[in-house]
Structure 1
Amino acid sequence: MEVLGLSSPRPITFAEARKVIDADAHGDPDDRPHLSRVFVTPEVDGWTLVIGAWCDPRDSERHEDVLRSCKALSARYGRAQAYYYGEQGDGSAWLVAERGSVVRRYAATGEADDELLTLGDPLPQEQARRLELGLPAEGDLRTASGEQIEEWTWSAFHLAPEIAAAYGVSPFTLTRETKVRGTGVLALTSDATSHGF
């Protein structure tokens, strides 16, 4: 919480946090309160997840801050990631950092500036999916047909949960058997304090 500049933590259950974060995520994107709080999970299988729109690695206002935060967290803890996943077919984005450096940032949301966010080489999950589609694994799509590119884009729209599970823990894979240690909290972000929420 210190590295991210989070404040005013208050204990909250997973069920309560899901309702709050879902409500925030479905608010007006031009209305800043959706960036004002996050759910910081207890330790789950050795990881602490920070969940909320404020952590979106492809958000036009936040992507550079999220990049800096992941680099700082990975410098301190070894590894850190940030993900976006739109369950309604809105796409995926991922940012993987290790030991203070970015390994990969990629966005597949159908937005015109997705390509501008790309950093690093494709991850093994990306490479495998591209090979399945008959595309070059390293990511150069200049020789691909329009149909292949469309297939890749649609496939990449759904990759974030798979990549999260491969590199740490995906919120979608948490079960009653998941090892949990500590208490989750709802915390205010620096965005909340700078905008008076």
Structure 2
Amino acid sequence: MDVAELLSQIATDGDYNPFSLRDLGPAEISAVREALSSLSLREAALAVIATLREPFDFALVPQEKPLPLNACEFWYALPTGDQEAVLDAFGLSSPVPVTMRMGRLAWRYEGHRWWLDHGRCSVIYVSPVLDGWTLVFGEPAEDFHTRGTLADGVEDPHGVKQMWANEAAKRTVRRERCVALSRRFGAAHLYLKSHGDSTTSWFIAENGTVARWYDVMVPEEQIGPPHPGEAGFWLPHEENPWPAGSFDDILLAHVGKEAALRFRDRYRQLQAEYNVPDKCDADDVAAQLSVRPGDIGPTTVVTGHGVLARTGCPG
């Protein structure tokens, strides 16, 4: 692996292929450490070192620069600047100070370590205070490993029923987590948005009660009336009023980028014709109620440093 190229890429655009770190050996890690002497590559080198959980001098961590946290799929938002209380509430330990660039790369790497038993649940990134909110990327070990139970005698040869039972159990645990957090911090939000499909949900708890819960997979179970964070949008499960087959000619006659562009233009045309608003997802709700990770930038008021912290899982 070309270490210099990897660090330059991280320093330039804050992105990288998480799998590129899987096979870094002692020689490559030594080369990364040598780059700590370069002001232009120091943060990138620290990002790699922190991601691989190698020790480093915390005094080298530079001043925070707000960075969009794109492609986030699961995060809590708490209206507090008390980082110690947040760590305690999630049962986290051994916090390591990091910048947003360092935290983002480490969290992305954590999310791609699917080949390990605890590859996606041993480290959580807790952001600095962002416009008065602390974001938590990840969940406690006991929540992550929640499993549902099937009634005795239920046949499930392909594991589908178990999968749905697991999801239902996690929804309950996450709702209870938000309620408990809201008792401590006044409010607690949980956002989920898949970038691989249309899955999305949000929990909004206030002062120990669920003000709103919505999940596109089980809209019939939603809790609470429409929330101000959804104002001006349709919910994802709501049916569009235009006739079935309105896009058939595009899908049959076009492929790739051309089809996508034509589909978008037709969709906008039908929205205007039928006076239909956009459908919201967790990102949209977060943008109106707290902090949308992808909107973080120069105008975001940032206080303190974020940290990488350990859950109860080994890894």
SS state at 1:72 partner: helix
Cα separation, 2, equivalents of 1:168 and 1:46: 9
Residue segments in structure 2 that go unaligned for 5+ positions in a row? 1-86, 145-163, 245-266, 268-277
Residue of structure 2 equivalent to 1:138:
none
CA deviations on 1:43-88 (whole Å, 9 max, x unpaired) are 11111110136688x9726433322221122112211101111234
Amino acid at match of 1:164: A
Cα separation, 2, equivalents of 1:182 and 1:168: 18
SS state at 1:50 partner: strand
Verify: 1:20 aligned to 2:128, yes or no. Answer: no
State the identity as a percent.
Answer: 31
More strand by share: 1
Query: More relative contact order in 1 or in 2 (CA 8 Å, sep 6+)?
Result: 1
Residue of structure 2 equivalent to 1:77:
185
CA drift of 1:117 comes to 5.5
Verify: 1:183 aligned to 2:301, yes or no. Answer: no
TM-score by length of 1: 0.72
TM-score by length of 2: 0.47
SS state at 2:188 partner: strand
Cα separation, 2, equivalents of 1:86 and 1:8: 29
Verify: 1:163 aligned to 2:285, yes or no. Answer: yes
Q: Cα RMSD (Å) of the superposition? A: 3.3
Amino acid at match of 2:227: L
**Matched-pair contact (CA < 8 Å) for 1:34–1:53:** no
SS state at 2:89 partner: coil
CA drift of 1:146 comes to 9.6
Verify: 1:130 aligned to 2:234, yes or no. Answer: yes
- C-alpha change, 1:17 and 1:146, in structure 2 (3 Å) is farther
- C-alpha change, 1:11 and 1:116, in structure 2 (3 Å) is farther
CA drift of 1:6 comes to 1.2
More helix by share: 2
Residue of structure 1 equivalent to 2:212:
104
CA drift of 1:30 comes to 8.3
**Matched-pair contact (CA < 8 Å) for 1:25–1:53:** no
- C-alpha change, 1:30 and 1:97, in structure 2 (3 Å) is farther
Alignment coverage as a number of residue pairs? 172
Larger Rg: 2
